[in-house]
Structure 1
Amino acid sequence: MLEIVVYIKMVGISRGYDSNLREELQERAVKFIGFCNKIFTFIKKKI
């Protein structure tokens, strides 16, 4: 759930900027969510 909150915050911040920067922020957010999911999956496998 944390990654979703971070994503919403990043998209919200980017609204004031031009579309190129917004796309970049969304891309970074998506990469970050993927990274979090990988860590979460790794932790679940360890347990």
Structure 2
Amino acid sequence: MGKAKMTFEQALGKLEQIVSRIEQGKVSLEESIEAYAEGIKLIDQCRA
């Protein structure tokens, strides 16, 4: 079974956290790429 879907607000909050961490430089390049991929999924979910 997959993860339960987040609400729009939860997905947006998680996306804001990801953006903040990347902008602050608190993650390695590899972690940034993984966070970017997660962010894309969250954006798709918010658009649905």
Cα displacement (A) at 1:26 = 1.1
Q: C-alpha root-mean-square deviation of aligned residues, in Å? A: 1.8
Q: Give 4+ residue runs of structure 1 displaced > 3 Å after superposition.
A: 5-9
Q: Name the larger-Rg structure.
A: 1
Aligned to 1:27: 37
SS in 2 for 1:17: coil
Q: Which has the higher contact order (CA 8 A, sep 6+)?
A: 2
Using the size of structure 2 for normalisation, the TM-score is 0.53
Cα displacement (A) at 1:33 = 0.6
Query: Of Structure 1 and Structure 2, which has the larger fraction of its residues in helix?
Result: 1
Summarize deviations over 1:2-47 as a string: whole Å, max 9, x none: 74x7545412213211100011111101110101101xxxxxxxxx
Alignment coverage as a number of residue pairs: 36
Q: Which runs of 5+ in 1 are unaligned?
A: 39-47
Q: Which runs of 5+ in 2 are unaligned?
A: 1-8
Using the size of structure 1 for normalisation, the TM-score is 0.54
Q: Percent identity?
A: 14
